[in-house]
């Protein structure tokens, strides 16, 4: 068996087409959605993430603004920056790129984002709405995973789903979304006993542990759908030698580049699974797509109602 490879672009492109249609309606009413990205310091990975998000805005015609405070910023100063964005009517969505410097209280900063502009879905009010099954802005990566399942025809209802990881950003909201889709959900983490046996019983596996290639092929039930959320940057030569010992082409690529991006799921799982997302080129593209979707949705909810604009039929279910 060779799994169907669920490439992110396969799902992102129709989502963008739906968003362009909705953006046309908003612009006809004089509304251009706006996204503000707050990037503290000069973390190279964070710079790449924000650059990709800004590029997506440009591709769709969403207004974007990037703020780049110095690494030395205090919690109070960063909260004041966010509160200023809360007051701007041309900004519908605010994202604060993580991680933040150690002297900054990240939770306090994230909670200072107005819930109606919380396009990352991290605010306690956003999470509370998700828990109670009420409409709101949902964390982008779990929402993207659900779009992959829905658009690829994978039925969540009645399925046994295992979510590996319990973070507020991925694991917990992912489990809630699957429960709302009527799956039977098990959340696993570093303390789970007999982890391999638990995972092997799953019809749907969402791997978000942040451990390179920890999910071996024998962990996967034949025919299961595997959503690999892992984005592990390998820069250590010894780790690369260990991971890629049986993958000479990947080891050679690592030696040329000095780094490699791998998921939580070993690529050999594609010989067992029924469907699997690749890393890179899988869930990451949907994370950005859902950020764009949340920004458009926030603009519609904040400013579109006054213009008589309703949610379009068949649009992204964010």
User: What is the Rg, in whole angstroms, of the alpha carbon atoms belonging to the chain?
Assistant: 20
Non-local (6+) Cβ contacts of 260 within 8 A are 233, 234, 240, 244, 250, 253, 254
Give the active site residue among 97, 118, 228, 264.
Answer: 97
Q: How many CB atoms lie within 10 A of CB 311?
A: 14
Q: How many CB atoms lie within 10 A of CB 208?
A: 26
Active site residue 24: no
Task: Name the strand (E) or helix (H) holding 107.
Answer: helix 106-111
Q: How many CB atoms lie within 10 A of CB 274?
A: 17
Residue-wise burial string across 232-267, b where 16 or more C-beta atoms lie within 10 A, e elsewhere: bebeeeeebeebbeebeebbeebeeeeebebbbbbb
Give the active site residue among 53, 117, 172, 297.
Answer: 53
Active site residue 53: yes
Active site residue 120: yes
Give the active site residue among 92, 118, 120, 264.
Answer: 120
Cβ contact 298:22 at 8 Å: no
Annotated catalytic residues are 53, 97, 120
């Amino acid at each position: 068996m060779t799994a169907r490879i669920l490439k992110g672009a396969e799902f992102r492109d129709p989502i963008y087409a739906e968003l362009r249609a909705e953006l046309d309606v908003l612009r006809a009413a004089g509304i251009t959605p706006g996204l503000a990205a707050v990037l503290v310091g000069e973390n190279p990975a964070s710079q790449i993430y924000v650059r990709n998000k800004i590029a997506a805005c440009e591709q769709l015609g969403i207004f974007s603004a990037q703020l780049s405070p110095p690494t030395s910023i205090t919690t109070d100063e960063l909260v004041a920056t966010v509160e200023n964005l809360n007051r701007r009517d041309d900004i519908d969505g605010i994202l604060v790129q993580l991680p933040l410097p150690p002297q900054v209280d990240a939770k306090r900063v994230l909670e200072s984002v107005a819930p109606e502009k919380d396009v990352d879905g991290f605010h306690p009010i956003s999470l509370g709405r998700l828990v109670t099954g009420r409409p709101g802005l949902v964390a982008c990566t779990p929402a993207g995973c659900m779009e992959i399942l829905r658009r690829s025809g994978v039925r969540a209802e009645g399925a046994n789903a295992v979510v590996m990881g319990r973070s507020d950003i991925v694991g917990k909201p992912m489990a809630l979304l699957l429960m709302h889709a009527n799956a039977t959900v098990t959340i696993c983490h570093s303390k789970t006993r007999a982890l391999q046996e638990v995972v092997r019983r799953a019809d749907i596996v969402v791997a978000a542990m942040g451990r390179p290639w920890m999910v071996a092929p024998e962990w996967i039930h034949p025919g299961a759908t595997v959503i690999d959320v892992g984005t592990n940057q390998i820069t250590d030569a010894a780790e690369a030698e260990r991971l890629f010992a049986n993958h000479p082409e990947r080891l050679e690529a690592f030696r040329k580049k000095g780094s490699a991006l791998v998921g939580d799921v070993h690529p050999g799982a594609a010989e067992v699974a029924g469907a699997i997302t690749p890393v890179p080129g899988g869930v990451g593209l949907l994370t950005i797509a859902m950020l764009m979707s949340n920004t458009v949705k926030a603009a519609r909810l904040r400013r579109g109602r006054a213009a008589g604009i309703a949610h379009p039929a068949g649009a992204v279910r964010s």
